[in-house]
Structure 1
Amino acid sequence: MLTLTANDIRLGCTATDWQDALTQASQDLQEAGRITPDYHAGMLAREQQSSTVLGNGIAIPHGTPESRDAVTSTGIRVLQFPKGVTWHDNATVTVLVAIAAQSDEHLDILRHLTRVLDKPGLARKLAEADDAEALVTLLSKEPVVPKCDAQTLCLGVNTRATSELAMSAAARLQGLGCVDSAFMKEIVSQPPVGLGQGFWLVHHSIGSIRPALALATPKEPSDELAGVFCLAGPGDDCRELLERIDNFLAQNTPLESQSVDAVLSRLSGEQANAVSERVRLLNTHGLHARPAKQLVQEARQHNADIRIRLAEGDGNSVSAISLTRIIGLGARRGQTLIISATGDDAEQAVKAVCQAISDGLGETVSPLRHHESQPESAEPESAPEPLADDEPLKAVAASPGLALAPAFVMRQPTLDYPATASDANEQTARLGRAIDEADGQLRTLIRQAEGGEAAPILSVHVEMLQDDDLYQAALEAINEGASAEAGWWRAIDTAARAQEALADRLLAERAADLRDVGRRVLANLCGVAMPTPPDEPYVLVADDLGPSDVARLDTQRVRGLITARGGATSHSAILARALGLPAVVGAGNRILTISDGTDLVVDGERGCLVPNPGAERRDRINRRLDQLTRLQAQAHECRNEPATTTDGHTIDVCANLGNTAHTPDAVDRGADGIGLLRTEFIFMEHPEAPDLDTQVKEYRHAFDALDGLPLVARTLDVGGDKPLDYWPLPHEDNPFLGLRGIRLSLTRPEILETQIRALLTAADNRPLRIMFPMVKDLEEFRAAKAIVERVRAEIPCQGLQVGVMIEVPSCALLAHTLAPEVDFFSVGTNDLTQYTLAIDRGHGQLSAESDGLHPSVLQLIRMTVEAAHAHQRWVGICGELASDPQAIPVLLGLDVDELSVTSRRVPLVKACIRGLSREHAREQAKLALGKATAAEVRDALETL
């Protein structure tokens, strides 16, 4: 969205008429280099279509879509007219917000402004503001949007106690992220207050994250107990929610139905005797100013009180004759509007308004396509531009490797189904059969994937199928007249959108898993089979891939993966790395224009793809592939030989593991040990913290398979971005900078101590190295090591080493203070790069720049190695940089002692080292350290 700044404000303007005001605005935008003179004509044309006055003295003039070519760069100007300007619709304008937008950004500005227009006295404050920053604040401050919708309703709870209903409602708000544990503590100790008619209220502001209202009703309501409202937030922010309660109670009649829609209707202020009807919005840009004004004009023609509510919104209804409130709904194409009316002309009014909406409210509209039944965004998606032949397209590097093969584009089949059905019992039975069928399909895939990375993820899918909340939400929709397909997908889509809205990116990405489960059941209901790949080798192209899609892949045929969406941490990326398939993700919708059979290059190391490579590029790729094939064969043959350079220097090449079950495979591939065991897998697989015996059994599997080779176990690394259900944490705006790693473990030292005790017991004097994650300085290391020493006194372990992961820049900068007290360092280059460059490696636009070969990261590694070697400590690299072919010589030249990579890469990394001399490697390291950017480093190394 466009952002207002003080430089965009012009105070104390005067104008002879509205045309003069518009001319001043366009001239200002032109002088700023935002538009050409032709844009002014577009602004005038837009006013001829309909006034851009929003109300409260604000007008938001902008050009027509045809005038966008006259916009050189998106910009905004705000002109204040303290004495007012009479607009052509006789409205008085005191603030003019002129927008030049190359896309539809003005629609976001418009929706935002309509939400702030309801502030009391806003027009006067805007006209009287004598400071640009003050005016920016008035127009830009994000209004508090309270939550009260279908998700906050807990209907039919099996209890007759007000306290239990209060806790059910509060727990629902906590589950939605509206309150935290502090709020729950306050509600437990607070008796509900009677409101009359059998309804009660509990309210508190402590622990409130967002103003919200929940309602819990008993399964068997009575005159004494019909329901309990739970209100969260300070009084000023809850004014609208209190009005909703008043609306609810004002009808003074028992709830005739406990359906979600009936309760929301009553909360919104709709009368029980109101005539109502649903209608889909078809306008391309949603309910913006021009169609909203047409709707208002239609509503004013009828002798009825007409209200409008967004079925997918917060449940609040607005007057159909309030332009600003209608725009403030933010209704998008494909969403459902609920029109209700009371009065003499109610039935005719509802039909007329619904017909006007269906006809487009003065705009040309087209029917909805299937995939638009629940729109993904407010903006329409234009047809993506096809990819150019032989031109690389940058994306997110998700899994290393190189591939060249014909494309197979996995296009989701069209699932056509009726939106409604009259036989609720039959629809419920159909849904049950489809869910059971999906359960069987998933369990078959789990058996096929046993021991692999996909199995635990698919197990989560089975759990999702058994989620009673999902099932109940689908049943509610079916009982309200939806078909089994429509009811199920409504439940899935609502839950997925809630997941996607989470600030935690990793959790938000898991919405793809929910949709994957949902599509499987939906396909079963529709009797449609999922797409079948060809029998020949291919590169799989898809919008996104669910774990079940990846689990079905025949790794003998698929050569690489490309997805339009997703990040480096999505499940498709994780599984691609586990399968050893080159993959790039987040490539954008343009890749979906590729035709099946188009030759595609997938470069998972550089994060790019190339359609239809030209003869020169194809020859170069084929040479690289031939060389890689020969190297892989030779590397496999020599996998058990040490990684010794041509001048006699040997370093260890170990394996990174996410599960002890993969230890035998790592040993078979020639690993010199386990350089990183991510122990959180055992904590995530259990509903509560695993006890000592459980952990000992798991760790012992690894030690037994290693047969004397060393194991580096990273202590529990969760929190922030990787929460545990049984270890609740407060909401964090930036979980990557919050409670995670060792700082979280030290808040529950008993859990850390149990883990260390289990590791020492399982090791039984076999080589064990314990490593603490996310250490920032010596103080944290000492606190964690003290626990190790206490347990070690009880369980002796010969040759035990204790070290830290270098992931935080402060730890690298202070390595000289840590080195005397640690036994080793292991550099986690993924997080170290992320924190050093301040770039999220899963970011759709910036991830390609999150490169561990950046000179700043290399300097931190150099400092760490020098500090460690000064005290005879060893240093390993356990991030993805350790398996990057361009980085290996540089790391070797920086004198690291160990590289730890995925098991599949062990033979290749060993082979790479055997072809290097230490002297040449140090020259490459010196060259890299002397460059200014990662791109310069890679370019320089490419020429060697």
Structure 2
Amino acid sequence: MYQGKGRCACAGITYGKILHIKTPDITPAALTCQSVDQELSHLDIAINKAQIELDGLIEKARVEIGQEQAEIFEIHRMMLDDPDIVDNIRDMIKQGGISAADASIAVGKEQAAIFEALDDDYMKERSADIKDVTGRLARILRGGETVTLSESCVIVADDLQPSQTVAMDRSKILGFVLRKGTQNSHASILARTMNIPLIINANLPADLTGQGRAATESEEVLDLSGHTIALNSVKGVFYIDPDEEIVDKLKIDKDIFEQQRLRQLALRGLPGISKTGHRVHTFANIGQPDDVEQVLENDGEGIGLFRSEFLYLGRNDPPNEEEQYRAYAKVGSTMNGRLVIIRTLDIGADKKVDYFNLPVEENPALGMRALRICLTKVDIFKTQLRAIYRAAARGNIAMMFPMVTRLKEVEQAKAICAQVEQELKDEGKEYAVPKIGIMIETPAAAILSDQLAKHVDFFSVGTNDLNQYTTACDRQNQDLGDFYDPHHEAVLELLRLIAKNAHANGIPAGICGELAADPELTDLFIEMGYDELSVSPGAVLALRERVRNSETKCLNELTNSRTSLEPQKKF
């Protein structure tokens, strides 16, 4: 019996046979290049076949899992007309004399790499869309077939493209175990939509001799098809060829899990109030307007972080005012009075856009990014602010500035806001004035939080960057090991100071970084007096349950600091 571990991306417990889907060969020169004209003709035929396949997937997704997920494949279909993809494939065939299949793979890798380099999981996963589309073309060109399920099974793979997941017969999928993946990957989102247990980042075995041995990163995983697996994604563990004792324990764990899920579903509509009476608003983080459905499904009381930069990435020019207005207004109106906090443009560091013409920096995390860009590219900033002010008339919308380090930056940003308000007023356009907050994600802002609190309406702590800048540990460096400690004492002391200074000045304080979902810290955040915790949509009800079960007494609380988080139509 082999015991493996991974991360839970969709909670559940299951048992069954394994179907191991191997990653298809995507190495170059898999096919001999014929003439350029023939390869271009093959590409056109493949594009047509891909369009037909995607039409079928769109309809299948729409019927089985809803319009929101069907839109994934509508985007894939549009990518087949995207010149950055299709024209580049054609150019590579003409210039490089390579097969259409190899050109598709090469362009897919090149385009996907742009998104994979970003430090935002949502944006990273957009690379999966590009790989899916170009991989589909390569598969068709190479005569490959799609996976067909003949019996109920647990799918094991390195990773899954969104189209692979939806194309399978969901009634025969017991669970997923993936060697790669993230919480925001399409595979994760689709698994949660279909309520299928999923473990990502699994340490799959290289062999099953004795107790077995996990494959190293460079090693090939043993073909596990035909073996049995017991999967407990709640705990992030799985057992290959489990003994009877493990299977019996799995059944008990499954009963406990199902009871827990029913308890959490019963919390819909109930406030997050601890047993000591402290009110904690359980909000959700989103990356695009369509994520709102997941927020409402999980009864998020609001949106604590709407990452607006998704509108700016993967394009050749910045989004205009109307495009942004429609996106923000859609979220605001769909949330129907629940608070939506939009983070203004957070480009820079790992999130780059060529059309901003930013200089190459030796240490971009400490360079021109976020609010610094907005204060130097005022026209772009004003376009976004105009869209937010107009959308605020359509919903309960607030906004916050990222990467603040001192009061001068807040004053400059608010002066630009005043200009925008006057312009909209002069033009006779409908708007509402949103509340203005700031993200506390630098030690400088944390230390100056007493001063800053006097000039804004709320704080939201970005714990990922706060940890990075406080401990001098690059958040993207996977080799730092124990040196990167999310529970570092200095970070926790700054969190305590931030909440204290917010409440002393009568404003609410929230947390929208990864620590907000950390079950080991919920009690501590209640003790500190945090008013709002914002997590991924799927984690909202579990967080609310922890809050409601907490007996921790809040040691730092002023009642007037929470009133502005209560739902309201307009500010």
State the TM bucket, normalised to the shorter chain: 0.7 to 0.9
Within 2, Cα distance between the matches of 1:567 and 1:735?
24
For residue 451 of structure 1, what is the amino acid of its counterpart?
E
CA offsets, 1:560-615, max 9 Å, x none?
554445667877667778877644237435682251343154657x7766545666
The equivalent of 2:509 in structure 1 is: 875
Rate the CA distance shift 1:818–1:835 in 2: closer, same or farther, 3 A. same
Whether contact under 8 Å (1:454, 1:551) holds in the other structure is: no
Asked if 1:488 corresponds to 2:72, the answer is no
The equivalent of 2:415 in structure 1 is: 786
Within 1, Cα distance between the matches of 2:193 and 2:419?
37
- SS of 1:592's partner is coil
Stretches of structure 2 that go unaligned for 5 or more consecutive residues are: 204-216, 426-430, 557-571
The equivalent of 1:742 in structure 2 is: 371
Question: Which of 382, 388, 412 in structure 2 is aligned with 1:759?
Answer: 388
Within 2, Cα distance between the matches of 1:893 and 1:557?
46
The equivalent of 1:434 in structure 2 is: 46
For residue 2 of structure 2, what is the amino acid of its counterpart?
D
Within 2, Cα distance between the matches of 1:607 and 1:676?
27
- SS of 1:593's partner is coil
Rate the CA distance shift 1:794–1:429 in 2: closer, same or farther, 3 A. closer
Whether contact under 8 Å (1:464, 1:514) holds in the other structure is: no
For residue 653 of structure 1, what is the amino acid of its counterpart?
T
For residue 905 of structure 1, what is the amino acid of its counterpart?
A
The equivalent of 1:649 in structure 2 is: 278
- CA-CA distance at 1:528 after TM superposition: 2.0
The equivalent of 1:548 in structure 2 is: 163
Asked if 1:699 corresponds to 2:328, the answer is yes
Asked if 1:599 corresponds to 2:229, the answer is yes
Rate the CA distance shift 1:772–1:620 in 2: closer, same or farther, 3 A. farther
The equivalent of 1:858 in structure 2 is: 492
- CA-CA distance at 1:457 after TM superposition: 6.3
- SS of 2:295's partner is helix
Question: Which of 526, 535, 547 in structure 2 is aligned with 1:913?
Answer: 547
Asked if 1:894 corresponds to 2:528, the answer is yes
Question: Which of 253, 256, 278 in structure 2 is aligned with 1:627?
Answer: 256
Whether contact under 8 Å (1:504, 1:735) holds in the other structure is: no
Within 2, Cα distance between the matches of 1:775 and 1:579?
40
Where do residues 433-832 of structure 1 align in structure 2 (5 Å cutoff)?
433-442=45-54, 444-445=56-57, 448=61, 450-452=67-69, 454-455=72-73, 458=76, 461-462=79-80, 463=82, 466-478=85-97, 486-489=99-102, 492-493=105-106, 496=109, 504=117, 515-533=131-149, 535-536=151-152, 538=154, 540-550=155-165, 552=167, 558=173, 561-565=176-180, 582-585=198-201, 587=203, 588=217, 592-593=221-222, 595-596=224-225, 597-601=227-231, 603=233, 611-612=240-241, 623-684=252-313, 687-764=316-393, 766-793=395-422, 800-832=434-466
Whether contact under 8 Å (1:660, 1:698) holds in the other structure is: yes
Whether contact under 8 Å (1:565, 1:585) holds in the other structure is: yes
Within 2, Cα distance between the matches of 1:840 and 1:456?
37
- CA-CA distance at 1:897 after TM superposition: 0.5
CA offsets, 1:847-898, max 9 Å, x none?
7875534433322221211111111211112123323333323322322101
Question: Which of 408, 416, 440 in structure 1 is aligned with 2:19?
Answer: 408
Within 1, Cα distance between the matches of 2:172 and 2:469?
38
Stretches of structure 1 that go unaligned for 5 or more consecutive residues are: 1-387, 924-944
- CA-CA distance at 1:632 after TM superposition: 1.9
Rate the CA distance shift 1:615–1:859 in 2: closer, same or farther, 3 A. farther
Within 1, Cα distance between the matches of 2:411 and 2:300?
31
For residue 496 of structure 2, what is the amino acid of its counterpart?
R
The equivalent of 1:123 in structure 2 is: none
Count the aligned residue pairs.
524
Relative contact order, CA 8 A, sep 6+: which one is greater?
Answer: 2
Rate the CA distance shift 1:622–1:871 in 2: closer, same or farther, 3 A. farther
Within 2, Cα distance between the matches of 1:454 and 1:428?
27
Whether contact under 8 Å (2:89, 2:107) holds in the other structure is: no
Whether contact under 8 Å (2:85, 2:107) holds in the other structure is: no
Within 1, Cα distance between the matches of 2:164 and 2:10?
20
Within 1, Cα distance between the matches of 2:12 and 2:363?
35
Within 2, Cα distance between the matches of 1:614 and 1:860?
48
Within 2, Cα distance between the matches of 1:489 and 1:667?
43
CA offsets, 1:163-207, max 9 Å, x none?
xxxxxxxxxxxxxxxxxxxxxxxxxxxxxxxxxxxxxxxxxxxxx
Q: TM-score, normalised by structure 2?
A: 0.77
Whether contact under 8 Å (1:445, 1:551) holds in the other structure is: yes
Whether contact under 8 Å (1:660, 1:699) holds in the other structure is: yes
Whether contact under 8 Å (1:566, 1:586) holds in the other structure is: no
Rate the CA distance shift 1:424–1:710 in 2: closer, same or farther, 3 A. closer
Q: Percent identity?
A: 30
Rate the CA distance shift 1:792–1:817 in 2: closer, same or farther, 3 A. same
Whether contact under 8 Å (1:493, 1:515) holds in the other structure is: no
Within 1, Cα distance between the matches of 2:395 and 2:30?
64
Within 2, Cα distance between the matches of 1:628 and 1:610?
18
Rate the CA distance shift 1:611–1:674 in 2: closer, same or farther, 3 A. same
Rate the CA distance shift 1:727–1:767 in 2: closer, same or farther, 3 A. same
Rate the CA distance shift 1:756–1:585 in 2: closer, same or farther, 3 A. same
Whether contact under 8 Å (1:674, 1:900) holds in the other structure is: yes
- SS of 1:869's partner is helix
Within 2, Cα distance between the matches of 1:704 and 1:687?
29
Rate the CA distance shift 1:601–1:422 in 2: closer, same or farther, 3 A. closer
Rate the CA distance shift 1:743–1:620 in 2: closer, same or farther, 3 A. farther
- SS of 2:156's partner is strand
Whether contact under 8 Å (1:430, 1:525) holds in the other structure is: yes
Rate the CA distance shift 1:418–1:713 in 2: closer, same or farther, 3 A. closer
CA offsets, 1:511-555, max 9 Å, x none?
7655544432222123221333565352x4322333433554667
